[in-house]
Amino acid sequence: MKAVILAGGKGTRLRPLTYAVPKPLLPLKQRPIIEHIMMHLKSHDIKEFIITIGYLGYQIKNYFHDGKDLGVSIKYEEERQALGTAGCLYALKDQLKKEPFIVMGGDNFTNMDITKMVQFHKEKKAAVTIALIEMSIPVDFGVVEIDKDGAVERFREKPSFDYLGATMIYCVSPEVLKYVKEGDDFAKDIFPQLMADGKKICGFKFRDLWIDIGKIDEYSKANEIAEKYL
């Protein structure tokens, strides 16, 4: 099974850290974020990787080369311009047409059970399975519900709202590739098209560790966790 890791972004929300280093190479406990991603996937028997690169992408290539030192195989797809979270797959159709594959953002720090997700995807015969993290948002004030006349029907003091957050971790069946065009985004373009055509999109719920390392505070949190668990 193959995995496509999206690593072409500029990481603007992590500046100044990313002025000279691409976000996927920022360290978590002395190893790059993207190396942790690949080693986690490798632990689930995924050893073939395609890394899409753009901003400072040569640094990623120079660091990992063909992946032999990590016991994996790495190929690179260079984006000369931003192609979208799904659009980058357009040039990879021939490499991904045989079996389901994983698509994962190069800033996802997680210990999610990838094997269970893939099994779930196959059992459900889904076009796409999205990894969904169970989350809760606390509210710092009271929440009031009123009727049409303004009478209070319900009052909740500082409640928490539970929801399922969509991660940038997908299991994708080859049939999806025929929908992909350069510039397409999964959420904005591909998912609506699939649903309009009656294709099945499933959600795989998990409660494991997951951090989208997009901002400085998230990067700091990921490093704190890495010190404890890696």
Does the domain made of 2-136+163-229 have the CATH classification 3.20.20.70?
A: no
- Does 83 have pLDDT greater than 70? no
% of the chain beyond a pLDDT of 90: 56
% of the chain beyond a pLDDT of 70: 98
Average pLDDT of every residue of the chain: 90
DSSP element (H, E) containing 216: helix 216-229
How do residues 116-170 score in pLDDT, each as one tens digit?
Answer: 999 999 999 999 999 999 888 888 888 888 888 888 888 888 888 888 888 999 9
- Does 82 have pLDDT greater than 70? no
| pLDDT confidence bin for 230, thresholds 50/70/90 | low
Per-residue pLDDT at 38 = 96
Q: Encoding tokens for residue 16?
A: 């100044």
| pLDDT confidence bin for 65, thresholds 50/70/90 | very high
Query: Residue 30 in contact with residue 113, Cβ under 8 Å?
Result: no
* Domain parsing of the chain, residue ranges: 2-136+163-229
